Structure 1
Amino acid sequence: MATEIRVPSLGESVSEAQIGEIYKKVGDTVAKDESLLELETDKAAQELPSPVSGTIAEIAVETGDEVEIDTLLMTIEEGDGASQTDKGDDAVAQAAGSAAADADSKPGEAHSEDQSGGKADEGKGGKLVAVETPSAGESVSEADVGEIFVKVGDTVKADDPLLELETDKAAQEVPAPVSGVVREIAVSEGDTVEPGDLLLKIEEGAQGSAKSGDEKTADYGGGKDIQGESGTTASRDERHAGDMDGEGRDPAPAAAKLMRENDLTKSEIAGSGKGGQILKGDVLTAIERGKDENGSSAGKSSSKESKPAPKRAPSTPDDAEREERVKMSRLRQTIAKRLKGAQDTAAMLTTFNEVDMSAVMDLRKKYKELFEKKHGVKLGFMGFFTKAVCHALQEVPAVNAEIDGTDIVYKHFAHIGVAVGTDRGLVVPVVRDADQMTIAEIEKEIGRLGLAARDGDLTMADMQGGTFTISNGGVYGSLMSTPILNSPQSGILGMHKIQERPMVVGGQIVVRPMMYLALSYDHRIVDGKEAVTFLVRVKESLEDPERLVLDL
């Protein structure tokens, strides 16, 4: 029996997602609850588990696809799963690399496809196997060609690395599907390729000359061998572990070329690129300085005096040579699209006020130890702000509403989103039914959600259904800002840095810990009077926290 896997419900405020990494391919066997793929929204990334055990019969999407609720993702054949034909195809796909090198294989036997994207064509001197960019099922949706380890005429063995593909997630080596001789290389370092694009062609079973085998590229950019004491060419793994530090990424192609021209090695240059990668500007800087930051010579030792002195590079490289271009992650792209969409859709306006935090700070100081001892959580500011917001929402329900077509949907509950900055980007976990919770319960839930956000353990249930959002830019030192709405919500409160300022109280100038508050709101739903009233109610609750206890 076939089971269809479709996009699940993602919550009230999430209508679409993007396909992240796909962990399986057609023919793979899966167990119940095993992860199939990753769905990414602007709020979180969620792994989708298999509801049954069986075999993948169909994959209907690719990495990067935008999908809506109930879109078909894949089909699983329950039980033992696929037919014998499917199993046979899968076996060929997984064993193509080793089978192609098998000396007992029949001379005319074709290899239709393999796990590294190889396809066989008939060539003049033998069978040409096309090596293509791996499919999205192997987590490559778009990639840049990194280092190319072979050149035309080189002899390769099955599973030898041919070149490196770099995606936004990782660098992946593409292995040779068969043994033979490289007859064509269709790409260059730095090219952007998509699944199915031709990378190179190998003539299966052919043998190259000894010279071809000895001249395989080395030294992290090609052109020279690295030889050990025996005089034999070192393997690629040995090159990575030789006089190099064995860590980080290989130098950029332009940097590698400049290094060869000036007889420099990776250990003599400090890389400033991503993952410690050496860029062209780093090489130019090393040449100009003459020594690296450790004081060692930037050129080779004096025993090579017969070589001409390195050419001096311009003292100041072009700006373009000192730039680094990095692709946006899919999550960052989705965040950008959502935030821009909020600006394009809502009639967004921001109103400001300020609050004297003296009363809240005195209350925290007086009861923080007793509070933590009783409730097992520290008494922070977010508990007070969340509770104050809930009180204000009861008085001004328009701030807790949203537009759906030509209707206004009023929410008679308060699910408060708390914006949290993480390494992957901004996420907004939700404290559900915050209006029914005590300050202690709110603090506990915010602590749980914050820890899950930092650890990457937030689920869709943690992210969905928010009706209003609080963003605390003060933790980063922000004095004032105009926060962007978390669509389709109609309001977001911006908290800021607490700073001592002179204030006039009872005709006297006194120093008070003050915080600016900013309420961004959708003017299509919320009138100016309602927005100002909401912010004043928040201010009053914080300056007189007993109102929160007495529900005033």
Structure 2
Amino acid sequence: MAVKIIVPELGESVLEATVSAWLKQEGDFVNMGDVLVELETDKVNVEVGAKSAGVLQKIQVPKGSDVKVGDVLGMIDEKQSASQPVETSKPVEAKQEVKETVVERESIPQVSPVASRFAKEMNVDINKVVGTGSDGRITKADVESYLQGASKQVEVKSEAKVSSFQKIIDTSSRSEERVRMSRRRQTIARRLLEAKQSTAMLTTFNEIDMSAMMDLRKRRNDEFQKKHGIKLGFM
């Protein structure tokens, strides 16, 4: 039986989202609750998990596409969720293969998309990070804790990045790369443009002759200070 992967409710007043990344590929086996795809909205990122175990049969919406609440993102085939039949002639080898497969799956750490991107930005080997989330899931806080313990290494890498960046600046050749704006960046740009178009961007100046007021203050300042203990101001 094929199970649809549907865009869930995204929050109050949020009706659309953009497919930020597919964390599973067609043909991959998924367990119930595994994160399949990450959606980006104007406010937050939403992770869509598998409603049942099976094989990701089809990805209907590719990365970078816009979707609405209720749209179908892909399909999961539940029929292929069962393990493959074991040959009776080699029961011992079959059991060993099943155990090795289970161990390999258990050894692969579950990483949240935010933690994965943050680890890549900081050049952190995700396999060295210990997860403290549910079922050993690695979160961004775990990566930050790992960085605090290896602060010296991070400083060395940062200095290397700065030196390499300076070398790039010293060279006369510069390359350009066009990157699609995220949905959140698009919202910020749209709000800034609306503010510029609907608000008067100007500065006004008013000139006043204060010479008479300054003369009056000069004459009354000493008397006012003796009487009240403070100097006479203009306000």
Question: What TM-score, normalized to structure 1?
Answer: 0.23
Larger helix proportion, structure 1 or 2?
Answer: 2
Q: Which has the higher contact order (CA 8 A, sep 6+)?
A: 2
Question: What TM-score, normalized to structure 2?
Answer: 0.48
